[in-house]
Structure 1
Amino acid sequence: MADPFSLTGTAVGIVSLGIQVAQSLYNYYTALKSQDSDIAYTRKKLNSLLEILDCLNCIQELQDDVIKFEKTPVDSNLSIAKSTARRLAYPFRKSTLEKLGENIDEIIFRLKLALQLLQQEVTDHIHDEIEDVKALLKLVRTSQISSELQDWLKAPDATINFNEVHKKKHPRTGLWLVKGPVFHAWLEICPSTSQI
Structure 2
Amino acid sequence: MADPFSAASSAIGVISLGLQIAQQLIKFCQAYQSYDEDAKRIESKAESLRRPLRALRDIIEDAQVSNPELAADLSEKALGLECMVNRLRTAVERHLPVVADGFRFPEKIRGQIKRVVYPFRRDGLKEMFEDLDGIQNSLQTTLSM
- TM-score scaled by length of structure 2: 0.32
Q: Which has the higher contact order (CA 8 A, sep 6+)?
A: 2
Larger Rg: 1
